[in-house]
A and B are shown apart, each in its own frame.
Chain A
Amino acid sequence: MKTVPYTATLLLAASLFAEMNDDPLRATLLADRLETASGQWSRWEHLVWDVSAYAGYDLDKAYLYSEGSKAPGESESQNELLYSRAVAPFWDVQIGAEADTADGKSVGWGVVAFQGLVPYYFETRLRLMVNAQAVALNAEAEYEMLLTQRLVLTPRIELQAYSSDVEELGAGAGLSSIETGLRLRYEFIREFAPYVGVSYAATIGNTRKYAPIDDVQAVAGIRLWF
């Protein structure tokens, strides 16, 4: 008999579970954006990430979100840990805590968020952050347009607003920033898709006194999950 590496094959094909549980515990991590921008491609010094992970069940999940960017001499990130509960066929309500960082300073928030699929298949997330200083709002929407079964064009937009200045984060009262992008990915397998795209980021209004940003950049990166 041919020797077979059974330890490896054990993971394949054979169902060696006796339970029939319709709602098993699962954990997954999605790096929706993991990219670098034009001008720094060769050095990978500029890095943008947008990662989420959860562990849980159909209705109840523990979620982690981390989104941010790193470049020489500057860095910022938003990190959340939330309990997520499915409340409608396409909607989850989430509650938890967030830590935002900017160039070494950090600010904590309490968070309530709504995440779901609106008609026309826009994936949306609306999040309300509260602390003693301010109330903040973040809204993002993403759409997946299939050009072929594996070539997917993804427009996205993200807006951020604050009730008052949050100096540590370099954020001004009112609508503070907008980020829109258009990315084209190719799914070699569902879990792995390199992409290229263009992204536009700008600070708005009072925030410009801290950091006047108005950038159009070409981006390249990978989207992956497991």
Chain B
Amino acid sequence: MDDHPAAIQRRRFLQSVAVSAVLARTLLSAGEGGSAPAPIKRRESLMLEGTEFFLTLERTVVNVSGSDVLATTVNGMLPGPTLKWREGDTVTIHVTNNLPVSSSIHWHGIILPFHMDGVPDISFKGIAPGETFTYRFPVRQSGTFWYHSHTGFQEQSGVHGTLVIVPKDEDPVVSDRDYVVSLFDWSDENPEAIYRKLKLHSDYYNFNQRTAGDFISEVKSEGFWDALQHRAMWNRMRMSDRDLSDVTGYTYTYLLNGFTEAEDWHALFETGERIRLRFVNQSAMTIFDVRIPGLKMTVVAADGNPVKPVKIDEFRIAVAETYDVIVEPEERAYCIFAQSIERSGYAAATLAPRAEMHAARPAMDPPQPLTMADMGMGGMTGEGGADTGAMKCGGGMQMPKEEGKKHMWPITPLPMRRGVGTTMKAANPRYRLDDPGVGLRENGRRVLTYADLRNYYSTADAPPPDREIVLHLTGNMERYMWSINGIRYADAAPLTFHYGERLRITFVNDTMMIHPMHLHGMWSDLETGDEARLVRKHTVLVQPGSKISYRVTVNAEGAWAYHCHMLYHMPGMFRKVEVLP
């Protein structure tokens, strides 16, 4: 063996050339997503239980609508595995990123140290390709929650799953059987392509627009002059009362626990059992109206937290909300039916005593147009004759007690901008807690509203607010720009909360869309009409043109995300919250 120094030099040089050649190839292929492991095949969604979990973010081949496409999944499952935790345990979750790009997992609605919250650039730097990040935190709550990627639009392409947390003490909810029912809007389109289309033509996916025929039938029912005036109001504002969802069944296939309506997932039971159904809306953009025809549902928890039981026929579930219901079915098959708010499609499954049974699907309801109240104009009974009467709610409006009274606490002013990015200002925004919302008004069924919700536990001890902030939800549908107080996230200063304070937050929705607003790290104690029973939520649906208020006890240090959970609104309609001592 020639050990001449030059030979060693040469060998080292060759080695380093080889290394850099490998490196160059890796870098080259990383650009093509080739350095990441090859895509895997979709696996059946499972439940994992324990205190230590190993999750892998994978590119996965799925076939939802007849063609093979790539999804981004957790452990190859769509939805990802349901994780079952126990209150009081400390859980450890190792998340390995096999995607060719950075990723993250956010534990939605979980109260934890902020660096475990999984929001890139706020809690941590994200999980780089090939890296493993270990989440570790004590579980201090129980109920139904969920998790999802907080990176880019990965939630839309499959990174999401359910969390079921068993209480340490006795569960106030008694049931014989327990099913997760996750709802999701799958698209074969790449989410960036969807977003681009919305930016170019915001009505791209809306195939429920007003036509000439609609006007003719309105003339028949209202008379020419009234119909014309009715139209004129909307036309002058350059807004559409048929604009219910930005993205629809035109591109979406609605999934229930990962199954299409045709695949027909089954929840089996034995007659006489009390079944707990844990509904979780894991969609990117779809608000669902859920019912089980022929069966009353008793709502027992909202966003994981127990509420006073309320018996209903139907409920609306916004993106990121969760509702637990109890049903007591008889010896027959029922359809679990979740229609999208704009009625362009539905997710459905069968609840039956036997696997071979199939429940017939009900017909979808016709879509209802938005009313002037949804525009923050007029009241509940159609002031100014502008309303079509769709808003008559019988009794008086339920509203928080302070409404109409002088505020007992100061309102902290915040910067506000009106301009290119804001088309509408709700002239007369109202608390509409007992309004079931567009599409569910006066449908003859008992529909859950926020006014029905009461915390299972007393909140009488909670201190009154120290101060209040008002956040306007703003946007320009035509240009597809979304913001808070007219300022998009990229241009906004963080919101400052003070550790230990009790804060009241009021939203005013200056848009025609529903926005499910999600505050990370702290509970949103929703005012639904009873000060002593504030409802503990993590995601609050704000109806178009309305206002709504909740209290937050600022008991979490660090920096937190605060945003609309409509995935394509989120990049703009977002704030960083900094909790200062």
Mark A residues whose CB is within 8 Å of B: 1-2, 4, 6, 9-24, 26, 28, 58-59, 86-90, 117, 119-121, 145-150, 153, 190, 225
Contacts and interface: CB of A to CB of B under 8 A. Distances in A.
Contacts of B479: 58, 86, 89
A4 B237 CA distance: 48
Contacts, number: 147
A146 B69 contact: no
Contacts of A145: 212
A119 B231 CA distance: 11
B199 interface: yes
Contacts of A150: 207
B489 A22 contact: yes
A169 B156 CA distance: 53
A119 B70 contact: no
Nearest to B214: A146
B70 A28 contact: no
A222 B273 CA distance: 61
Nearest to A6: B39
Contacts of A14: 59, 69-72, 157-158, 190
A171 B419 CA distance: 40
Nearest to A148: B211
Chain B contact residues, majority secondary structure:
loop
A153 B215 CA distance: 15
Nearest to A86: B420
B99 A16 contact: yes
Contact of B210 (A4, A20, A146): A146
B52 to A, nearest CB: 27
A12 B99 CA distance: 15
Interface stretch (B147-155, B306-314, B399-407, B530-538): B147-155
A20 B151 contact: yes
B189 A89 contact: no
A6 B419 CA distance: 44
B175 interface: no
A4 B570 CA distance: 33
B101 A17 contact: yes
B298 interface: no
B420 A11 contact: no
B195 A16 contact: no
B153 A15 contact: yes
Interface of B: 33, 38-39, 41, 59, 61-62, 68-72, 99-103, 120, 126, 151-154, 156-158, 187-193, 195-196, 199-201, 204, 207-213, 232, 235-238, 419-423, 476, 478-479, 481-482, 488-490, 570-572
Contact of B420 (A24, A89, A117): A89
A23 B39 CA distance: 30
Contacts of B211: 146-149
B476 A24 contact: no
Contacts of B490: 22-23
A10 to B, nearest CB: 6
A149 B207 contact: yes
B484 to A, nearest CB: 12
Contact of B238 (A90, A148, A153): A90
B68 A18 contact: no
Given A6-B39, A18-B101, A22-B489, 7 more contacts: A11-B190, A13-B69, A14-B69, A14-B72, A17-B101, A26-B199, A26-B200
Contacts of B488: 22-23
A123 B529 CA distance: 46
A20 B572 CA distance: 9
Given A15-B157, A24-B196, A28-B200, A147 B212 contact: yes
Among A4, A13, A87, A145, residue most surrounded by chain B Cβ atoms (within 10 Å): A13
16 contacts: A1-B41, A4-B39, A9-B61, A12-B190, A13-B190, A14-B72, A16-B152, A17-B101, A18-B152, A22-B482, A22-B488, A24-B192, A90-B238, A146-B210, A148-B211, A149-B211
B274 to A, nearest CB: 39
A181 B257 CA distance: 51
B7 to A, nearest CB: 44
Contacts of B68: 2, 4, 9
A120 B188 CA distance: 35
A9 B195 CA distance: 18
Contact of B196 (A6, A26, A146): A26
Contacts of B210: 146
B478 A89 contact: yes
Contacts of B489: 22
Nearest to B205: A190
**Which 7 residue pairs across A and B have the least CB separation, nearest first?**
A22-B571, A22-B572, A18-B102, A13-B69, A14-B70, A15-B153, A15-B157
Given A15-B153, A15-B191, A18-B152, A10 B208 contact: no
Contacts of A146: 209-212
A18 B69 contact: no
Contact of B100 (A16, A24, A58, A89): A16
Given A15-B72, A23-B490, A148-B211, A190 B204 contact: yes
Contacts of A59: 420
A10 B479 CA distance: 28
Nearest to B156: A15
Contacts of A16: 33, 59, 72, 99-101, 152
A14 B99 CA distance: 10
Contacts of A58: 199, 420-421, 479, 481
Given A147-B211, A149-B208, A13 B153 contact: no
Contacts of A2: 61, 68
Contacts of B62: 13
B152 A89 contact: no
Contacts of A89: 419-423, 476, 478-479
Nearest to A4: B68
A135 to B, nearest CB: 29
A14 B39 CA distance: 11
A16 B33 CA distance: 9
Nearest to B479: A58
Nearest to B64: A13
Contacts of B213: 147-148
A23 B120 CA distance: 18
Contact of B235 (A90, A121, A149): A121
Among A14, A119, A149, residue most surrounded by chain B Cβ atoms (within 10 Å): A14
A225 B200 CA distance: 10
Contacts of B201: 190
B570 A20 contact: yes
Nearest to A89: B423
A6 to B, nearest CB: 6
Contacts of B192: 15, 17, 24
A28 B571 CA distance: 21
B34 to A, nearest CB: 9
